[in-house]
Amino acid sequence: MSRELIRMALQEDIGEGDVTSAYFIPEDRMARAFLTVRREGVVSGVSIAEQVFAEVDPDLDVQIMVEDGSRVSEGAMLMKVEGKARSILTAERTALNFMQRLSGVATLTARYVDEVKRTRARILDTRKTTPGYRLLEKQAVLDGGGTNHRIGLYDRAMVKDNHLAAEGGLDSLQAAIRLLKSEKPNVQVELEADRLDQVAEFLKLEGVDYILLDNMSIKDMRKAVAMRDEGSKIFLEASGGVNFETVRDIAETGVDFISVGALTHSAPALDIGLDFVPVE
């Protein structure tokens, strides 16, 4: 999947050819360059950038200096690239686009993870991802210390308010859960609750793996956690209104997971640049 996306991104950028490099850079000019981070953060997408350079020119010598998931300070060198100057320049923007975007996701995730340290809560991503980038952005969340929610519609049933409104009551809901578990035993079931009476009802159902506490107050989240039996295997996930001002309070209610759509839909890019150095 990543190779297909890389090829599409390069075709989008290069089109019929890199006219700047072709007309202004001698074909035999050799060069050395470093990808350097210009602001502290968490790195992701290094391996993708390496694939970009290899796709443009397999003869480029690429040396990874910092692995994905590493916390880096301003000025850290992430990668060294040596070979034809034309090839490096042609690959530069696409490689940086991937790394800046994915490192931004990893960096934002790490900030949220830091906010909930010493609680039981884990930070989750969502499906609010850039089309085509989902697996890369989900990996960036892992690089930042977060946890992946479902990848798509196929690997977890998530029954939300609209599903419940159209579905027809608890008996029908229980029957649907049993049927799903019998036919797809590896698929987990999550039910969305925005009221405490729903939480109480859902805790009694068989086959429920997660209950999503949607836009609940801190007080109600604490009550929902208290309603769960000590030996219950049902996880509680908080969602809605999550930001740096609220996430710690949410975590301290005792929920197991906190989902944050901003990890992928609002992460600012990490500033990374490519700098040429003289070749001896």
DSSP state of 253: T
Given 115, 125, 214, 237, which residue is catalytic?
214
Residue 237 carries which side chain, given as an amino acid letter? E
Instruction: Give yes or no: 29 in active site.
Output: no
| Catalytic entry in 32, 127, 128, 134 | 128
Judge whether 93 counts as a catalytic residue.
yes
Widest distance between CA atoms in the chain: 76
223 within 8 A of 81, measured Cβ to Cβ: no
Distance of CA 82 to the CA centre of its chain: 31
Cβ count near 186 (within 10 Å)? 7
Is 128 annotated as catalytic? yes
Q: Which residues contact 191 (CB under 8 A, 6 or more apart)?
A: 159, 164, 173, 198, 202, 205, 208, 210, 211, 212
**Pick the catalytic residue: 93, 134, 223, 248?**
93
Catalytic-role residue among 160, 178, 184, 219: 160
Which of 18, 50, 137, 192 does the annotation list as catalytic? 192
Specify whether the CB–CB gap between 12 and 260 falls below 8 A. no
* 214 assigned to active site: yes
Let me know how many helices (H) and strands (E) the chain has, helices first: 11, 12
Q: Residue 117 catalytic?
A: no
The residues carrying an active-site annotation are 93, 128, 160, 192, 214
